[in-house]
Amino acid sequence: MLGQVVISGLLAGALYSMVALGLGLIFGVMRVLNVSHGPLLMLGAYTTFWLFQWWGLNPYLSLLVTMPLLFVVGVVLQRLFVSRVVDAPELSSLLLTFGISIALVNIAQLAFTADLRSVEYLTGSFVLGPFAFSKSRVIACAFAIVITAGAFLFLKMTRLGKAIRAVSQSREVAQVCGINVARIHLIAFGIGSALAAAGAPSSRSWSPYSPRWGRRIPSSPSSSSCWGARGTIRARSSAASSSASSSRSPRSSSPPR
Amino acid sequence: MKRLALFALLLLLAVLALYPMRGTGYGVRFMLQLFMWIALAQSWNLISGLTGYVSFGHIAFFGMGAYTAGILIVKLGWPWLWASLAGGVGAVVLALVIGWPCLRLKGPYFAIAMLGLNEVLRVAVSYFEGLTGGGSGLSLPALYASVPIYYAMGVVALAVTGLAYVIVTSRFGLRLMTIREDEVAAEAMGIDTFRYKLYAFLLSAVGPGIVGGLAARDQSYIEPISVFPLIMTITMIVMVLFGGKGTIWGPVLGAVLLFTLQEMIWARFIYLHQLLFGAIIITVVLLMPRGILGVLQQKYHLPRTI
């Protein structure tokens, strides 16, 4: 029983850590705690759902659409709203992103109704001795590891990644070195939103959900982001895995309201 | 001028005290909830408006009061008034336990800790089913008249506003505002910042605790998601920001305007009200973070005891 909980927790933790990576990126670069991260994931999930419903598109393939789409949504949100509160006290950004969050959930309810939806993809489990590995979770975990590693390499290796890290370390010095800070902020929010969307196909495939669900998920990713916010990406990933395995006890795995 | 303002205030109180005799049932309930929001917004203002420490889970005290009072009424048969006051005590105890470690956190970390407190309490209340009824909630005996609750809520709203007046005009208030402006400088001047933050935090928990107990009695049914909603914390923060953070009458003004507006939106656009509320939050944060009274204060050099 305990072993099963640990396995499910670690598998889910990889996914949470990927979603929280986007949150942590935004927080690290701008000191903005993005409360609307969950609703952004929810938008990605609905895009995945409709693509699957209309054209039977494989949820993981549909990321080629959802991630760029959410990148654009993130950039627009940053440009219109968040950029105005980057330097304000933290209360402003918390409230602002909360306002965005309830507006997004309400728009999604109007557009998609509040019905529970799910994608029938990769059902069933691999059984190995006494333990069951849910297929969708194993795939989600592998995928999350790939994306997390990709984001890690992007931040470490590329010029743009270096610029993003420079801005998060010291905005003034980065500016003096000729980095366009406002542009980096736009890109960081865009990438953060796209990483939220990257969680869409995986989470969609193991529990059905409705627009309101978008408001409930952030409690896990945001908690892991505040554990790992000060540290490195590696710290953040391990925080997410441990918080997921602690919260994924059988009691709390009932369907989200 | 000052006497005129005092006279107007007394007249307003007299009208409000006599209102239940002529008012409709809806009117009384509307005013009752308005008093509740004034008390909540004003309490949040005491900690966050004065010291600048953002409590992003202040409704946890409301929920604590509601459950303390609810359990005392249901299990021990206490009268609602005493149970609600006990709810206030319960909220203060919670504030002491939480404030002791958390008020040492700075910046967004205090806000996140308070947000976490609210989530933890909601889950804890669902877990202890024997005492709290768990997820299926706690039903209180039927309520026959909401007029006594109307007066109780009104008294709490008035008391919290009076408390804000006393604090803002005292040395204690000055110390709190020094912490808000520059905590390091405050410490350098010999202010024991942690102690004063804790006092302000405890005082800010009393109002929501009592109001929570009264609201539990008024609604006759409480459940974890109905007394620990994040959206209520946000609503009271937006009320304070809208009226004017750190002022005495700002939270009252903000609560009156925003609650009335919300009620109108809710009645007209049932499917859009959350979207419109989100739009209101965004507008307030982006366009008038200082609030109505804050802008007036700056423009016309009004005294800070407004």
Query: Pairing relation of β-strands A125-128 and B221-222?
Result: unpaired
pLDDT higher than 80, residue A63: yes
- Topology of domain B25-129+140-228, CATH: ABC transporter involved in vitamin B12 uptake, BtuC (1.10.3470)
pLDDT higher than 80, residue A204: no
Q: Do B278 and A102 touch (CB under 8 A)?
A: yes
> Which of B116, B234, B271 faces A110 most closely, judged by CB atoms?
B271
Give how far B183 is from chain A: nearest CA, Å. Answer: 15
Show contacts of A168-175: CB within 8 Å, 24+ apart.
Answer: A168/A28, A168/A29
Between CA B126 and CA B137, with CA B131 as vertex, the angle to 5 degrees is 50
Predicted local distance difference test score (pLDDT) of residue A225: 46
Give how far A96 is from chain B: nearest CA, Å. Answer: 5
> Which of A81, A98, A107 faces B275 most closely, judged by CB atoms?
A107
Give how far A135 is from chain B: nearest CA, Å. Answer: 30
ipTM: 0.81
SS3 A134: strand
Give how far A30 is from chain B: nearest CA, Å. Answer: 12
DSSP string of B54-91, one letter each residue: --TTTHHHHHHHHHHHHHHHHHH---HHHHHHHHHHHH
Residues of chain B whose pLDDT is less than 50?
A: none
Give how far B237 is from chain A: nearest CA, Å. Answer: 8
Q: Is A122 left (phi over 0), alpha (psi -120 to 50) or beta?
A: left
Interface membership of B264 toward A (CB under 8 Å): no
- pLDDT one-digit tens code per residue, A1-45: 788 888 877 877 787 788 888 888 888 888 888 888 888 988 888
Interface membership of B278 toward A (CB under 8 Å): yes
Average pLDDT, chain A: 78
Interface membership of B4 toward A (CB under 8 Å): no
Chain A positions touching B48 (Cβ under 8 A) are 91
Q: Do A106 and B116 touch (CB under 8 A)?
A: no
> Which of B112, B115, B285 faces A85 most closely, judged by CB atoms?
B285
How many Å apart are CA B198 and CA B96, to the nearest integer? 8
Predicted local distance difference test score (pLDDT) of residue A246: 42
- pLDDT one-digit tens code per residue, A229-253: 444 444 445 445 444 444 433 333 3
Contact by Cβ (8 Å): B217, B69 = yes
The number of C-beta contacts closer than 8 angstroms across A and B is 80
Those residues with Cβ within 8 angstroms of residue A8's Cβ, 6 or more apart along the chain or in another chain: A134, A137, A245, A248, A253
> Which of A96, A103, A104 faces B285 most closely, judged by CB atoms?
A96
SS3 A122: coil
Q: Do A226 and B286 touch (CB under 8 A)?
A: no
Predicted local distance difference test score (pLDDT) of residue B129: 83
Contact by Cβ (8 Å): A39, A214 = yes
Report residue A117: phi and psi, to 5°: -125, 155
Predicted local distance difference test score (pLDDT) of residue A241: 47
Chain A positions touching B54 (Cβ under 8 A) are 89-91, 94
Instruction: Domain ranges for chain B, please list them.
Output: 25-129+140-228
DSSP string of A162-227, one letter each residue: HHHHHHHH-HHHHHHTT--HHHHHHHHHHHHHHHHHHTHHHHHTTS-B-TTHHHHTTHHHHHHHHH
- Taking CA atoms, B222 is separated from A150, B70, B134, B218, in Å, by 47, 8, 10, 10
How many Å apart are CA A116 and CA A121, to the nearest integer? 16
The pTM (predicted TM-score) of the whole model is 0.83
Optimal mutation site among B127, B128, B275, interface A, most CBs of chain A within 10 A: B275
- Taking CA atoms, B12 is separated from B6, B19, B158, in Å, by 10, 10, 12
pLDDT higher than 60, residue A177: yes
- Taking CA atoms, B116 is separated from A19, A226, B91, B142, in Å, by 19, 11, 16, 33
Q: Do B279 and A103 touch (CB under 8 A)?
A: yes
Give how far A190 is from chain B: nearest CA, Å. Answer: 20
Q: Do B274 and A106 touch (CB under 8 A)?
A: yes
Q: In terms of Cα–Cα distance, which of B281, B280, B282, B304 is closest to B293? A: B304
Q: Tell me the pLDDT band of A213, cut-offs 50, 70 and 90.
A: low
Contact by Cβ (8 Å): A84, A153 = no
Q: Do A226 and B109 touch (CB under 8 A)?
A: yes
Average pLDDT of span A71-76:
94
- Taking CA atoms, A91 is separated from A51, A97, B42, B54, B162, in Å, by 37, 10, 17, 7, 26
How many Å apart are CA B81 and CA A69, to the nearest integer? 55
